[in-house]
Amino acid sequence: MSNRFWFIGGQDGPWRVTGNRSIVGEGLADAERLNIRNTDTPPALSVTAWMLQGFTSNLRYATTPEVTSLRAIQPPLGRPEATRAALIPLKKSAVWWDMPQDERRAIFEEISHHTEIGLAYLPAVARRLHHCRDIGEPFDFLTWFEFAPEHEAAFDALLAQLRATREWEFVEREAEVRLTRE
C-alpha cells in the first residue's frame, strides 16, 4: 500500500469546494471540486487548478501517553456522516526547521498544547497528516479533516485555538479549502 496521497483541485471529484481562502501568504487557485488519490506515481487526472502531494509517516512529536490517548479515541476517515472536510496546507519557517528536536517539541506541546487541543475535539473530527517538505512541494504539510455538519462549529473553534498558539507564529503560509461530499 502506498503512503503517498495526491490532492487534485479541478472540475472533478466527490468533494465540492465550498470555501477557499488564504490564512497566511499566497492562497490556492480556485477549484470547483477535489479528487484524492493514494498512489506512488502521479495520477492520470486532468489538473485544472492544482495538485498537491504528501506522504504519511511515523509520529514526530507524540509521547507514549499521548499516543495511547490518541489511538483510543481517534476516528477513521470515511465515516458516512462525515460529509464535511477541510484541506489545510501549511508551511513553517526555516527558523522552525533549524531548531533541535527538543525545542520544536516544547513549542509544539508543552507551550502550544497541540495534541492536547486536538484531543478535545475527538472523536468528532477525523484527521490525516501528510508530510511534503522533504519532497520539493510548496507546503510542508497537507492536513486533512473530516467531520459531520453538526461539528463544523467545533472544527472552527479547533482551528481558532491552534492558530492562536506560539507554534503558529512559525507558520509562514497557510491555505484553507472547505469541502462537502456529494
- Of the candidates 68, 87, 72, which has an alpha carbon nearest to the alpha carbon of residue 132? 87
Q: Supply the minimum distance, in Å, between the C-beta of residue 92 and a copy of itself.
A: 10
Nearer to a copy of itself, 106 or 148 (CB): 106
Measured from the CB atom, the residue of 78 and 136 that comes closer to a copy of itself is 136
**Interaction between residue 57 and a copy of itself (CB under 8 A):** yes
Tell me which stretch binds a copy of itself (CB under 8 A): 8-16, 29-37, 53-61, 171-179: 53-61
Distances (CA, A) of 179 to 33, 86, 165: 8, 6, 25
What's the one-letter identity of residue 160? A
* Contact (CB, 8 A) for 117 and 161: yes
38 binds a copy of itself (CB under 8 A): no
Residue 135 makes contact with a copy of itself by CB under 8 A: yes
Q: Does residue 39 bind a copy of itself (CB under 8 A)?
A: no
Does 171 help bind a copy of itself (rule: CB under 8 A)? Answer: no
The Cα 132–Cα 13 span in angstroms is 22
Q: How far does the chain reach from its first CA to its final CA, in angstroms?
A: 26
Tell me the three cell numbers of residue 124: 468528532
For binding to a copy of itself (CB under 8 A), which residues are involved? 2-4, 40, 55, 57-64, 66-67, 97-98, 100-103, 105, 131, 133-136
